[in-house]
Amino acid sequence: MSVWWVVAYGGLGAAFGAAVSPVTRRQLPVSAAGWARSPLVALAITGVLFAALAAGFGHRWELVPYGVLAVVSVPLAITDIIEQRLSSALVLPLGITLLALFAVLAVAQADGASLLRAVLAMAALAGFHLVLALLLGGLGAGDVKLSAVLGIATGWTGWPAVIGMLLLAYVTASLTVLLDRLRHRANRLEAIPLGPYLIFSAFVTIVTLGA
C-alpha cells in the first residue's frame, strides 16, 4: 500500500479527531486532566488509527465504517479512563451507524454471511459481558453496550478477530491490574475501565486479521 495513501488517510483522521474533540470535553468535568481535554490528543490518536486502517485495508470500503468507529472510539476511551463511564449517547448511535454501514456493504458486495456473523458476534459479546456483569460485578451497562458495538466491528472481519479481541483485552487489562497491584502493594484489585482495552484490542485484531 502506498505510503502517501496511509499518510493522507491518517491526516484525514487527524482532522476528524480535532473536529470531534469538543465532544470529549463536554463529557469531562472542568477539573479533568489537561491531556484528556486537549484536542491534540484526540487529533494524534485518531490520526494514528486512520493510518493503521489505511495500511491494513488499502482502498477497501471497510475504511468507512471502521473510520466512524475510530472517530467515536477516542472520546469514548478518554471518558472511560477519566470518568469510568461510557456514554450511551455515543455508544448507541455508533452501534446503529455501524450496523447500517455494514448492511450497505453486505448488499453492495453480496456478502450476507459477514453481516450475519457481525450480528451474531454483537449478540454473543453483549450476552457474555452481561453475564459477567451479573455474576462478578465490576462491569457497567456501558461496557455491555460497547462490547456489542465492537462485536459488530470485529464480527464483520471474522470470528478469529472477535475471539482475539476478547483475549487481548482481558490479558492486557489483567496485566495492568497486576502491575498496579505490585507497584502499590494493594490488598485488593482496583477497578479499571475496560472500555479502552476493548477498543485497543478491537483495532489491533481488525487491522491484523481483517486486511
Tens digit of pLDDT for each residue in 1-40?
688 889 999 999 999 999 998 888 888 876 676 777 788 9
Tens digit of pLDDT for each residue in 134-147?
887 778 889 999 99
pLDDT of residue 34: 75
Query: What total of structural domains would you count in the chain?
Result: 1
Rounded to whole angstroms, how far apart are CA atoms 63 and 136?
36
* pLDDT classification of 211: cutoffs 50, 70, 90: low
pTM, to two decimals: 0.92
The torsion angles phi and psi of 40, rounded to 5 degrees, stand at: -65, -35
The torsion angles phi and psi of 45, rounded to 5 degrees, stand at: -65, -45
Structural domain for 152, as ranges: 3-210
Rounded to whole angstroms, how far apart are CA atoms 78 and 25?
10
Vertex 18 angle, CA 16 and 19, to 5°: 60
